[in-house]
Amino acid sequence: MTPVAGSVSLSLALGFGLIAVLTLFIYTKNQDQRLFFVGQRLALGVSFFVFLATFILSYQLMISNFDIDYVARYTSIETPTIYKISALWAGQSGSLLFWLFILSIFSTITILQNQQKHYSLIPWVIISLTITQIFFLILTNYVTNPFKPTEADFIVANGNGLNPLLQNITMAIHPPTLYLGYVGFSVPFAFAISALINRDTSPLWIQSIRRWTLVAWLFLSMGIILGGWWAYQELGWGGYWAWDPVENASLMPWLTATAFIHSIIIQEKKDMLRLWNMVLIILTFALCIFGTFLTRSGVMSSVHSFTESSLGPIFLSFVFFILIASFGIMYSRLDDLKSPKKIESFTSRESGFLFNNMIFVVLCFAVFWGTLFPVISEAVRGYKITVGAPFFNQINTPIGLILLGLTGIGPLLAWRRTGTKNLIRKFTLPIIICFISIILFLLIGYKGYVVISFSLCIFVTTAILSEFYLGIRVRKNKFDESLHNALINMISKNRSRYGGYIVHLGIVFMFVGFTGHAFDREKEFSLQIGQVEHLAGYEFELLDLSESERPNHYAWISKIKVTDYQGQFITNLYPEKRVYFHNNPDVNRRQPHSELDIYSTLNKDIYSIFSSIDNQKQIAFLKIMINPLVRWVWIGGYILVFGTLIALWPRKEE
Amino acid sequence: MKKNKFTLLIIGVVTITGFWISWVSYNPADEKAMATFISVNELINNNISKRIKLGGLVKDGSIAISEANQLDCNFILKEGSSELYVKYDKTRPDLFKNGAEVIVAGRYTDGVFYADELQTKCASRYEGDLRNESSYNLIEVGQ
Amino acid sequence: MDILRDYGLIFISFVLSIIYVIEPLFMSKLVDTYDSENHKSLNRKKIMLYRQVKELEMEFDIGNINNKDFTKMRIELKKEVSAIIAQLKLK
């Protein structure tokens, strides 16, 4: 297939999209059923042509057709197959097509899934999804077309190829995972807007989007964690989160989405917080588009930034359009969003959810503020003030800890009002254990945020475990089940609740990991073979320096022996200094890279970097970092995924 | 009645948040929390002493690594036609080399910029080499 | 030749999709689907409410609700369920 077919497909998709929206809009006015089906089929047609275009681009990548600019830029004949596939989302135009592709899949599923229900809502759902598709179609048709032919007046025999440093699995999976999250929220948003327009105040549509929301949230969470993991393993600065604008761009929708997931529980059960939920889903979707914009338009100079292009203004316009249109519709339907029931007491679970919403929004705003600080300061003062990680850490730590505390308190509160009796029953044990922990940690010598953080982690864990215990005990008394069966049945009959508690446990583990930062140590030094250095009670001895010529790079390998303060052998570390393209006559095209070696245990990571080598004197320049508790972050991540899967597990009735 | 309590709560939260964020914005605890991003030209002309962030290219051939301690390095930062002498003594990022696009943060004293942060732009995977926009690693096959 | 083949394929896809899209215009007026929608959504609501009653009982057992509130909420939910069952009986 030639690239022209791809371009034409995209144009047809755009055409179908515009007519689909028009048709469905007319249908909502004159209720002619036939127009509904025409519009629905047009929308399916949009997705069909997007699938076609994506298939064509993938095919061109696989056959290495360098007549297409995109293929020549991001692949070469030598590029391994899997990275030819992942090249689909490597570049700007391809990744936007990929976004569109995922959106089309979700749109198709939504349309087909709802053929027998939500008749009144579906037209506007499809309109909303199709408008989003149209936006990305405008971009890929006119601004950054993936099928653009190569500009060269000679035949291109081989392409640029993907930098070998970026050829690892995580870098291939991280973008699509994030995109599945970003795109996933278009569906709940579409339903919310549709319910708003149709004045549908029943909680049925909420039940329908619950699954979509959870899946999108899961992918977003995984994408964020994967990004952090890759940064830690590959980038070599010893951390997993730098409060980089692009990282923040993925965190912000995650925060509002998490609030939304919690808050819709209340609307489903008690029909409260309608206004909050509408605001939260609108913000989440807008932030997803905004996040895609921040990543792809190069507007903030960050480690991730790409070339600046005309993409920016168009993206921003779409974000503004979403916000203005959505909040406009919301304003016109404000009365529908007033809940018939009111929160009755501060010590109710309902009010706990309200607090929860507020804290998440505050956190999101704080991150937003810091991310846009340079832009704001330039507008206000005339010069850019950039903010770094310490700024974000200082602002967000107390807020994060409040959130952590709430994670423990919330589930212990009763509906409507927690009477004094229940307050004592539920809170006594966790609070006592928390106080004991505080005293213990202070005695050990920890201070400030560390004590608070660890103690809250223990508080929340106690609270979660006690909820599990109570639930099991009830089942044993009622049904006389064994401990094992009681646990399985209890979770099985309340998958959202207990899945959610497990997710909370995962978050607690991650906070333990975060708190480890307070104890980070690092040292940079040089060693000759046989020399030793010390850090944090460990001894590092350079045992060997060797060299190796490998297929696509040259490597200097160091062997470092690590022993503890008692002289016990811990491990050997083998950090390498590599040079890729080492045979390239142009010195500037050779690419050095430090291949880290990390020794990871539950209570600390020993992180070694081979920065440079003095070949003549055989001196290795090394950087060692001791990063305590990092493993807990990844373990917490796994637990989070596990808990979400339990919550998602389908029931037989459905 | 209950509605007022919660409206008060929201106002309270908004106010506290506003104060907290403004306070940290005006006096952050860590020196490295903020830096003013200006051009090299501006810095040299105005001799600014507070913490500054600069961006530019590493001038070809200007990287000098100390014999005694390979972590110690000087180079010249070039932005447009302005040049600045920079000293940095920590582990250099892998992509740091002649012509690399860098961002440095630190303080300017007596004509020398003492950098405590040095960042290079991420490996140009996404949009091709920034300085060779339309170049491909091509093998010409005649006309 | 490649281009001709591609244009041909695209043209065929285009024609087929136009046919697919226009087909509903030739349908006669359809069965009123709103009635069945109501029936289905009422059913869903009923199931949702039953589930909520069960959860309420479980929460009471664990101690997340006090006696008074439990009775009150249970009565409210049962009232809602009865209303829906009555509506369903009418269909």
Residues of the domain holding B25: 1-30
Whether B15 is in a domain gets the answer yes
Whether B140 is in a domain gets the answer no
Return the residue of B nearest to A351 by Cα: B6
Residue among C14, C33, C66 whose CB faces A422 most closely: C66
Report how far residue A485's alpha carbon sits from residue A475's, in angstroms, rounded to the nearest whole number. Answer: 9
pLDDT-flagged residues of chain A (< 70):
1, 118, 297-310, 652-654
What was the pLDDT predicted at B18? 93
Whether B132 is in a domain gets the answer no
Tell whether B69 and B113 lie within a shared domain: yes
Interface present between B and A (3 or more CB pairs within 8 Å) = yes
B26 touching A, CB under 8 A? no
Report how far residue A220's alpha carbon sits from residue B77's, in angstroms, rounded to the nearest whole number. Answer: 39
User: pLDDT band for position B142 (50/70/90)?
Assistant: very low
What was the pLDDT predicted at A120? 84
A156 touching B, CB under 8 A? yes
Report how far residue A463's alpha carbon sits from residue A457's, in angstroms, rounded to the nearest whole number. Answer: 10
Whether B101 is in a domain gets the answer yes
* Total count of domains within chain B: 2
Tell whether B46 and B12 lie within a shared domain: no
Whether B2 is in a domain gets the answer yes
Tell whether B20 and B83 lie within a shared domain: no
Would you tell me how many other CB atoms lie within 10 Å of the CB of residue A317?
11
What was the pLDDT predicted at A262? 95
What was the pLDDT predicted at A401? 96
Which positions 266-305 of A are in contact with C (Cβ < 8 Å)?
268-269
Tell whether B26 and B39 lie within a shared domain: no
> What residues contact C60, with CB distance under 8 A and at least 6 apart?
C70
Whether B58 is in a domain gets the answer yes
Q: Percentage of chain C with pLDDT > 90?
A: 9
Tell whether B39 and B103 lie within a shared domain: yes
User: pLDDT band for position B130 (50/70/90)?
Assistant: very low
List, for residues A458-511, the tens digit of each pLDDT value. Answer: 999 999 999 999 889 888 888 888 888 889 999 998 899 999 999 999 999 999
What was the pLDDT predicted at B97? 82
Residue among B32, B70, B94 whose CB faces A390 most closely: B32
CA distances from A28 to A24, A43, A125, A206, A455 (A): 6, 15, 12, 22, 56
A435 or C80, greater pLDDT: A435
Lowest mean pLDDT among A69-83, B75-89, B122-136: B122-136
What was the pLDDT predicted at A527? 92
Report how far residue A401's alpha carbon sits from residue A359's, in angstroms, rounded to the nearest whole number. Answer: 10
Interface present between B and C (3 or more CB pairs within 8 Å) = no
Tell whether B56 and B111 lie within a shared domain: yes
Backbone angles phi, psi at A331, to 5 degrees: -65, -40
List, for residues A92-123, the tens digit of each pLDDT value. Answer: 899 999 999 999 999 999 999 888 776 789 99
Does A421 contact C66 at a Cβ distance shorter than 8 Å?
Answer: yes
Domain boundaries, chain A: 1-167, 180-407, 419-493, 519-632
Tell whether B60 and B25 lie within a shared domain: no
Does A526 contact B71 at a Cβ distance shorter than 8 Å?
Answer: yes
Residue among A72, A298, A594 whose CB faces B136 most closely: A72
User: pLDDT band for position B106 (50/70/90)?
Assistant: very high
pLDDT at C52 over 90: no
What was the pLDDT predicted at B141? 33
Tell whether B20 and B81 lie within a shared domain: no
Which positions 16-75 of C are in contact with A (Cβ < 8 Å)?
17, 20-25, 27, 29-30, 33-34, 37, 40-41, 44-45, 47-48, 52, 55, 58-59, 61-66, 69, 73
List, for residues B21-56, the tens digit of each pLDDT value. Answer: 999 988 888 888 888 888 888 888 888 888 898 888
Mutation for B interface: A67, A156, A613, A625, most B CBs within 10 A: A156
Tell whether B45 and B24 lie within a shared domain: no
Report how far residue A476's alpha carbon sits from residue A470's, in angstroms, rounded to the nearest whole number. Answer: 10
A417: exposed, middle or buried (C-beta count within 10 Å: 0-12, 13-18, 19+)? buried
Does B13 contact A305 at a Cβ distance shorter than 8 Å?
Answer: no
List, for residues C4-48, the tens digit of each pLDDT value. Answer: 888 888 899 999 999 998 888 887 665 555 566 677 778 888 888
Whether B59 is in a domain gets the answer yes
Return the residue of B nearest to A391 by Cα: B33
Residue among A303, A591, A621 whose CB faces B121 most closely: A303
What was the pLDDT predicted at B127? 35
A598 touching C, CB under 8 A? no
pLDDT at B116 over 60: yes
Tell whether B90 and B43 lie within a shared domain: yes
What was the pLDDT predicted at B140? 35
Tell me the ipTM for this assembly.
Answer: 0.86
| DSSP per residue, A143-189 | IS-TTPBP--SS-B-S-----GGG-SHHHHHHHHHHHHHHHHTHHHH
What was the pLDDT predicted at A522? 94
Tell whether B48 and B5 lie within a shared domain: no
Q: Which pTM value belongs to this model?
A: 0.91
CATH of residue B89: 2.40.50.140
Mutation for A interface: B15, B138, B141, B143, most A CBs within 10 A: B138
pLDDT at C88 over 50: yes
Tell whether B9 and B43 lie within a shared domain: no
What is the DSSP-derived secondary structure letter of residue A649? P
For chain A, the chains sharing at least 3 beta-carbon pairs closer than 8 angstroms are B, C
